[in-house]
C-alpha cells in the first residue's frame, strides 16, 4: 500500500488589493441571522486599499495590485456565541441604487478562492459569478478574512465532495467567522496526472496534490505504486512540479492547470468514480433575502444537551413539518472542556460536546422553516445554541 506524506511546498501565493468595494446585498431582518460581531483577533494587512495613498511602514505609496498578507495573530475564543455585537469600522454598505449603477457600468465582483490559478475552486468561482475577478488565497482562513475585511466581495469555497466527503476545515471556519452562505455551486471534478516535459509514468516515484484529490484517485495511484504527498491545493502542486522542474514527481490537478504551468498530461480522468462532484459554498458579509418562488436550501448549526433521544427529537421538528434534510454533519465543539461523570470509575470522558450542521430543503421565508427552527430554539428542550448560516437558492446543475 502506498504511503502518504504530508508536506507543504513553498508557493508564492498572494491576494490582490481591491480597486473598490462592491456588491453587498440588503440584510434580512430575521432574528436567526447574526450580524458581524466585534472581532477578537489581530489582523496584519501589509497593504492598503486603492483609496489609500500612503503607508509609512512601506516607505510611501502603495501601488495598485500590490499583494497583501493576512496574518491571524490570536484567536482566543472562536466559539463565543453570546458575545454582544458592536459596530465595526467598515465602509458604508452599498445600497440597491449603488448596485444598479455598478451593474450598468460593468463593475466586476472580486471573488476569493483557495489555491492558485488553475485550481478547481477558481472554476467554481467563475461558474458562480461569471465575469468576476477571481482572487487566489493561500489558505481557506485567508479567503474568509478577505471577505470580512472588505478586500473582496465574495468567497467560493468547497464544503464537500461526492467521493472524498466533507471538508471539515471549512465547517469549522463557518462557525469561527460571521459570513453568510448566499448560494451553492456544484462542479464536476476531472483529475489528470501531470508531469514535466519528457517525464513518463514509469519515471514517477511520487505524486503531489490536495489530500481530497489523492483520496479521489486512490485506486489509480495505488496501481502505479506512487508515494502520495499532500499539499495545500491541486493547482499549487502542479505549479510546484513545474517551477521545481522535478523529474521523479507528478501532480494530480486539472487540465487547466496543465496548460497554465506547461505540464504534460500523462493520464486523464484518473478519479475512482466518474461521478466526482464537489459542492462549493458562496459566502458574503450579509445574507440574501429568502424567497419562495424558487427552490431554496437553508443551512443551520446547533448544539444539544446530552440525553437519550435528544438528537432524534431535534431532527423530528423538521420531519413533522415535511421538511427534507439533505445533509447532517457533526463536529466536536472546540475550546470546550470534555464532560466527565463525577462518579466515573476510570476517569474517561463520557462524551464530547458536539455541533450539528444541517442542510434542509426550505427557505427561511417559508413558515414551516421558521416554525421548525422556532421549535428547536425557543422550546429550550433541544438546542442550547442555534445559528442560521444561510438561506440560499439550490443549485441543481453540474458543470
Distances (CA, A) of 203 to 226, 238, 246, 248, 386: 10, 17, 11, 6, 53
Q: Which is nearest to 150 in space by CA: 232, 58, 221, 88?
A: 88
Q: Residues 32, 144, 280, 356: which is the catalytic one?
A: 280
Q: Which residues, listed in sequence order, are joined to residue 393 by a DSSP beta bridge?
A: 296
Please confirm, yes or no, whether 360 is among the known catalytic residues. no
Please confirm, yes or no, whether 280 is among the known catalytic residues. yes
Query: How far apart are the C-alpha atoms of 177 and 287, rounded to whole Å?
Result: 14
Query: How far apart are the C-alpha atoms of 121 and 254, rounded to whole Å?
Result: 11
Q: Residues 21, 142, 278, 298: which is the catalytic one?
A: 278
3-state secondary structure 278-309: EEEEEEECCCCCCCCCCCEEEEEEEEECCCCC
Residue 99 host element (H or E): helix 96-104
Question: Would the CA dihedral through 296, 383, 310, 372 be positive or negative?
Answer: negative
Q: Which residues contact 109 (CB under 8 A, 6 or more apart)?
A: 22, 23, 129, 132, 133, 153, 154
Q: What is the three-class DSSP state of 61?
A: coil
Check if the beta carbon of residue 72 is closer than 8 Å to that of residue 148: no
Residue 192 host element (H or E): strand 192-195
Check if the beta carbon of residue 299 is closer than 8 Å to that of residue 223: no
Only one residue has cell 483577533, namely 41
* Grid coordinates belonging to 313: 427529537
Give the active site residues. Answer: 278, 280
Amino acid at each position: 500500500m502506498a504511503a502518504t506524506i504530508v508536506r507543504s511546498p513553498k508557493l508564492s501565493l498572494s491576494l490582490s488589493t481591491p480597486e473598490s468595494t462592491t456588491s453587498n446585498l440588503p440584510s434580512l431582518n430575521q432574528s436567526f441571522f447574526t450580524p458581524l460581531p466585534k472581532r477578537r483577533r489581530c489582523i496584519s494587512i501589509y497593504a492598503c486599499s486603492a483609496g489609500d495613498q500612503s503607508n509609512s511602514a512601506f516607505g510611501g505609496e502603495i501601488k495598485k495590485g500590490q499583494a497583501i498578507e493576512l496574518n491571524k495573530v490570536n484567536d482566543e475564543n472562536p466559539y463565543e456565541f453570546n458575545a454582544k455585537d458592536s459596530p465595526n469600522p467598515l465602509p458604508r454598505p452599498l445600497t440597491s441604487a449603488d448596485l444598479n449603477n455598478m451593474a450598468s457600468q460593468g463593475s466586476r465582483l472580486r471573488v476569493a478562492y483557495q489555491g492558485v490559478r488553475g485550481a478547481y475552486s477558481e472554476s467554481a468561482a467563475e461558474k458562480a459569478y461569471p465575469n468576476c475577478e477571481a482572487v487566489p488565497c493561500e489558505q481557506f482562513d485567508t479567503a474568509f478574512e478577505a471577505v470580512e475585511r472588505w478586500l473582496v466581495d465574495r468567497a467560493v469555497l468547497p464544503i464537500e465532495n461526492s467521493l472524498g466527503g466533507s471538508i471539515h476545515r471549512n465547517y469549522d471556519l463557518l462557525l469561527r467567522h460571521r459570513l453568510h452562505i448566499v448560494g451553492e455551486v456544484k462542479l464536476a471534478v476531472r483529475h489528470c496526472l501531470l508531469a514535466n516535459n519528457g517525464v513518463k509514468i514509469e519515471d514517477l516515484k511520487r505524486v503531489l496534490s490536495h489530500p481530497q484529490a489523492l483520496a479521489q484517485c486512490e485506486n489509480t495511484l495505488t496501481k502505479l505504486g506512487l508515494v502520495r504527498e499532500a499539499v495545500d491545493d491541486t493547482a499549487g502542486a502542479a505549479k510546484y512540479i513545474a517551477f521545481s522542474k522535478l523529474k521523479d514527481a507528478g501532480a494530480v490537478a486539472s487540465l487547466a492547470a496543465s496548460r497554465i504551468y506547461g505540464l504534460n498530461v500523462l493520464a486523464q480522468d484518473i478519479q475512482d468514480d466518474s461521478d466526482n462532484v464537489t459542492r462549493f459554498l458562496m459566502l458574503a458579509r450579509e445574507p440574501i433575502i429568502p424567497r419562495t418562488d424558487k427552490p431554496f436550501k437553508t443551512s443551520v448549526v446547533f448544539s444539544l444537551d446530552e440525553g437519550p433521544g435528544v438528537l432524534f427529537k431535534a431532527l423530528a421538528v423538521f420531519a413533522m413539518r415535511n421538511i427534507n434534510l439533505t445533509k447532517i454533519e457533526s463536529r466536536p465543539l472546540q475550546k470546550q472542556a470534555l464532560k466527565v461523570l463525577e462518579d466515573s470509575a476510570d476517569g474517561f470522558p463520557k462524551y464530547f460536546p458536539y455541533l450539528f450542521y444541517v442542510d434542509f430543503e426550505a427557505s427561511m421565508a417559508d413558515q414551516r422553516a421558521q416554525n421548525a427552527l422556532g421549535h428547536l430554539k425557543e422550546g429550550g428542550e433541544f438546542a442550547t445554541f442555534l445559528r442560521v448560516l444561510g438561506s440560499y437558492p439550490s443549485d441543481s446543475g453540474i458543470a
